[in-house]
Structure 1
Amino acid sequence: MCTGKCARFVGLCLITLSLVCIVANALLLVPNGETTWTNTDNLSLQVWLMAGFFGGGLLVLCPGIAAVRAGGKGCCGAGCCGNRCRMLRSVFCSALGLLGAIYCLSVSGSGLRNGPRCSKDGIWKDYFKETAGSYLLNRTQWEVVCEEPPHVVTWHVTLFSLLVAASCLEVVLCGVQVVNAAIGVLCGDCRKKVGPRAQEL
């Protein structure tokens, strides 16, 4: 696969994953799909750090768009630099996206380990924080420990697991695009060598 086609494929994947992270982070702000508990006292710190919105979302969306553009015809066509200009920009954007994905992964992993903030007997607390993640294997305690919001542990675990999975893929894809774009800067887009018709695709 040439650098241009690879960049376009990676870019489309990054755009999709960034949107997934943004939606997942937005849902974490409304436990059980309700805004009743959306305030600083009732949501954990990891939710308010907005790792899915900023880290895995916006900071990955930009390199995704840059990678798709790098997979196009290029700023100068097949003339002076081919796709080298856009590939160079994609290197820096992907490096920034890599940092964002790592931030999202670390915060989401911490959120998954600590569990949600919830209420028991009217007292709001991070009840699972001291379990070091072992609560994930004891589902029978979820509804017993957390009375409000309803089903908050399932909501929290599902969305943070999604963020962890998405950010892991983002780390891999951003790393791939850094290497791919660097090769594109040095060697150009191989599609320009197969004829003018291929360039238009």
Structure 2
Amino acid sequence: MCTGGCAKCLGGTLIPLAVLSVLANILLFFPGGNVIEKEQITEEVWYFGGILGSGVLMIFPALVFLGLKNNDCCGCCGNEGCGKRFAMFTSTIFAVIGFLGAGYSFIISAIAINKGPKCSTQSNSTTWIYPFKEGDYLSDNSLWSKCQKPDNIVPWNLSLFSILLVIGGVQMVLCAIQVVNGLLGTLCGDCQCCGCCGGDGPV
């Protein structure tokens, strides 16, 4: 596959992942489908790992990757002097940005899963705490009953942060692939453009 075509494929995959990531992060603000007070929401939700890291910071690289295939053969952005190789080099920079964003979301999600959700351990209490320690609830779901409010907060947080964790991991892999693909495109150009590695014809 040509480097431009590969980038377009990666960009097309990253877009739905970014949208899903944003939706997952938004749902985390409504644990168990309930509207609660701002200070009762798990702290890691406010770090916007899914909205900023795997969402906004991923949209820009994805759009750049999608646009590479549409660049004209010997130029980019209508400028023949720019060159396909420069466009591929630019995509590498955006891929690194996307990798960092996905990594941020991945780390935040991992911390949140290990820490567990913030909840009330007594149904009539207004005090909300983090009742779990070092991920102990992950191997013993009988501990989930410690959280009395809101309903189903543990599976809700665990499921959504796990989704963000997986999405972040996949996005990191895809962006790493584009870094390699972009470097190859920088050195050799796209197979449909002006030759490869100094050649005069397409390969």
Question: TM-score scaled by structure 2?
Answer: 0.86
Q: Give 2:101's aligned residue.
A: 100
Q: Give 1:29's aligned residue.
A: 29
For residues 73 and 127 of structure 1, the distance between their equivalents in structure 2, rounded to whole angstroms, comes to 54
Q: Give 1:65's aligned residue.
A: 63
Deviation per CA, 1:149-188, whole angstroms, max 9, x where unpaired?
Answer: 1101010000000000000001111111111111112211
Paired residue for 2:52, among 54, 59, 65?
A: 54
Q: Give 1:126's aligned residue.
A: 130
**Structure 1: stretches of 5+ with no match in the other structure:** none
For residues 24 and 50 of structure 1, the distance between their equivalents in structure 2, rounded to whole angstroms, comes to 10
Residues 29 and 47 in structure 1, CA contact (< 8 A), matched pair in contact too: yes
- Any idea what SS the aligned residue of 1:124 has? coil
Which amino acid counterpart does residue 137 of structure 1 have in structure 2? S
Q: Give 1:174's aligned residue.
A: 175
Q: Give 1:135's aligned residue.
A: 137
Change (3 A) 1:25 1:76: closer
For residues 182 and 25 of structure 1, the distance between their equivalents in structure 2, rounded to whole angstroms, comes to 33
Higher helix share: 1
For residues 76 and 30 of structure 1, the distance between their equivalents in structure 2, rounded to whole angstroms, comes to 43
Change (3 A) 1:27 1:76: closer
Deviation per CA, 1:9-52, whole angstroms, max 9, x where unpaired?
Answer: 111111121111111111101112222x141x211211111111
For residues 87 and 18 of structure 2, the distance between their equivalents in structure 1, rounded to whole angstroms, comes to 21
Segment of structure 1 superposing worse, 153-162 or 87-96: 87-96
2:85 aligned with 1:84: yes
- Any idea what SS the aligned residue of 2:120 has? strand
For residues 102 and 77 of structure 2, the distance between their equivalents in structure 1, rounded to whole angstroms, comes to 31
Instruction: Give aligned pairs, total.
Output: 190
Give the drift of 1:78.
11
